[in-house]
Amino acid sequence: IWDMISTTSAHDEESDDSSQEEVTYALKHLHPQMTEKQRDFTASAIDLVLEAKILAHLDHPNIVKLFGVTKGSISTVFCGNGYFLLLDRLYGTLEDKIQEWISSEMIANVTTQTRRTSLSGNQPARRYSNAGGASSGRGGNDGATAPADGAMTYKERCKLVDERIQSVGLDVARGMEYLHQHRIVFRDLKPSNVGFTAKGTVRIFDFGLAKEIIDSKRRLTGNTGSLRYMAPEVNRREHYGLSADVYSYGIMLWEMCCLKKPFKGMTKEEHATLVIHKGFRPKISSVPGSDDLKQLIQVCWSAEAPERPTFREIRRALTTDLATKKKLEEEERERKMAQQSAPSKLIMRLRRQHRGTTNGTYRKSAPKKGNFQLPFS
């Protein structure tokens, strides 16, 4: 369980102010009631000690920071002497952030609907049902299905997805890249294990299931982690490695883009049959983004572990995709500005005529008095 503790620190690592200030840390320790179940308590105690051992050797902006542990060994935990970890205080998780994004989209949809209704003279757009039963408005939408009444356009949703990847997705990839460089498989990557500091910095936390891979031939414990984000080979208790985290990231990235729970409503039996054995995956066409982004998500959650990219490749792919989109946006903005600032050929012709010129030559005579005509008549 988690508790909070405040203390006075001479310097906050995220603050430019070197003066003394109160800093809040998180305490992670075992719940006293866990001692009632010896087997569960033993497993949790071992996880807590191993988590401290792993975190003690890590130092990365996107990995939760370990500031200290109580003295003693694993026996300290069993004796009830209050073994705990002193960690970063985090303010909310990615799971919470996704709910905020959902609320923001709902507000944006209402705002868009109000604006469109106002512009159309309070006449709501007619809705048509396509073959699949989905409702859409008349007209196109940047090559995608037009949004329902009040919904944001596809282009607007793509913009929001890019912002989420820029602010969260990339940092998670950076943190995971660092872990894999140290041969550490996280084994439980999901939104509830991605947190944020007071300044909004992404921190991957809860290393209770993390494992350092010393011998790649050694088989790791199977069926470890959360079923929704668990790689098929882990669920089947087969040999697996670092690429298991990539599968989890792919599922989580889809969730960040679509703001929907993957495999929602599935029972464990259905998940085993459809996802683990038949390769069922969330609907990729639901992702509002580029084809490159969709292809990246698909290759991340590939059923074949060797086909999945490394987190270094993921980070580079996302960075390139965002940079390409930014360049296209800048070019489009410059083109529109040029169109707005440059007078049309008609206006230029009218101005020349108004100055008494035609194709760069002066008229030989002025119009007779009383018979004046406008130059563009």
CB neighbour class for 131 (10 Å; exposed up to 12, middle 13-18, buried from 19): exposed
Q: Which residue has the tokens 């670092």?
A: 242
291 is catalytic: no
- For 325-342, the DSSP string reads HHHHHHHHHHHHHHHHHS
User: Which residue of the set 88, 162, 171, 188 is catalytic?
Assistant: 188
With residue 314 as reference, give the H or E element that holds it.
helix 311-341
d(CA 252, CA 300): 10
Report residue 11 as tokens.
Answer: 């310097």
Residues sharing a CB contact under 8 Å with residue 47, sequence separation 6 or more, in sequence order: 208, 209
d(CA 202, CA 176): 12
Residue 290 · residue 226 · CB < 8 Å: no
Nearest Cα neighbor of 286 from 197, 116, 157, 151 is: 157
Q: Which residue has the tokens 């572990």?
A: 305
Q: Residues at the annotated binding site for Mg(2+)?
A: 193, 206
Report residue 326 as tokens.
Answer: 């930014």
d(CA 99, CA 92): 11
Q: Residues at the annotated binding site for ATP?
A: 28
Q: Residues at the annotated binding site?
A: 28, 193, 206
Alpha carbon of 36 to those of 31, 33, 41, 42, 358: distances in Å? 10, 6, 8, 11, 99
Strands 361-362 and 84-88: unpaired
- Count the Cβ atoms, other than its own, within 10 Å of residue 151: 20
d(CA 268, CA 303): 18
Annotated catalytic residues are: 188
